[in-house]
C-alpha cells in the first residue's frame, strides 16, 4: 500500500512539473488610470501626479506578484483615493467604494501609497486624487509605452 501511494505521489509530481513546462507563465500586468482618474481643482499639475504614479507601477506590480504567488484572487480594478498634503506627502489613503479586496494585497498597495511623496500642491492646500488600477495576468503583455 505504501509503495502504491509513493508511486501515485511521484506521478503527480511529474505531471505538475510537466504542466509548468508546457503552460507558459502568465505575466503580471498593471494598468493605471484606465477607468478613473480624478483630481480636486487645487492640484494644478495633474500630469506630474500621473507621471509620478506611472513611475511607481513596478512597486505595485511587486505587490501583485507576491499575491498571485500565494494563489490569491486579486485580478481586477482597484480604485484608490488619497490626499496630497501641502508638502506632497500622501495622507488619508483608502479604497473607493465597498468592494471586498484581498487583505494582504490591499495592505501592500496602501503601504506603498502612504510612503510616496508627490509633487506639492500649487496653492499649499491639500488636494485629493482618485485613481484606478487594473491588475491582471496576461499571456502576452505588450510593452508599456
Tens digits of residue pLDDT in 87-113:
889 999 988 765 667 788 888 999 999
Choice between 144 and 126, residue whose per-residue pLDDT is larger: 126
**Cβ neighbourhood burial of 86 (10 Å; 0-12, 13-18, 19+):** middle
Q: Quickly list H helices, 23-144.
A: 46-55, 57-69, 103-115
Lowest mean pLDDT among 3-17, 43-57, 94-108: 3-17
Pairing assessment for the beta strands 127-138 and 90-95 based on DSSP bridges: unpaired
Q: Which fold has domain 26-138?
A: 3.30.1150
Write down the pLDDT at residue 83. Answer: 93
pLDDT at 124 over 50: yes
Query: Cell 494582504 appears where?
Result: 104
- Helix or strand or coil: residue 24? coil
pLDDT at 24 over 70: no
The model's pTM is: 0.68
Q: 133 pairs with which residues across the strands?
A: 32, 78
Amino acid at each position: 500500500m505504501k509503495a502504491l501511494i509513493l508511486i501515485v505521489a511521484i506521478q503527480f509530481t511529474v505531471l505538475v512539473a510537466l504542466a509548468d513546462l508546457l503552460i507558459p507563465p502568465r505575466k503580471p500586468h498593471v494598468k493605471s488610470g484606465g477607468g478613473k482618474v480624478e483630481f480636486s481643482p487645487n492640484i494644478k499639475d495633474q500630469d506630474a501626479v500621473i507621471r509620478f504614479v506611472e513611475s511607481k507601477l513596478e512597486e505595485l506590480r511587486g505587490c501583485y506578484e507576491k499575491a498571485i504567488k500565494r494563489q490569491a484572487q486579486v485580478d481586477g480594478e482597484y480604485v484608490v483615493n488619497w490626499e496630497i498634503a501641502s508638502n506632497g506627502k500622501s495622507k488619508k489613503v483608502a479604497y473607493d467604494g465597498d468592494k471586498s479586496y484581498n487583505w494582504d494585497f490591499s495592505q501592500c498597495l496602501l503601504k506603498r501609497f502612504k510612503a510616496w511623496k508627490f509633487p506639492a500642491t500649487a496653492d499649499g492646500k491639500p488636494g485629493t486624487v482618485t485613481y484606478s488600477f487594473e491588475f491582471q495576468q496576461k499571456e502576452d503583455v505588450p510593452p508599456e509605452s
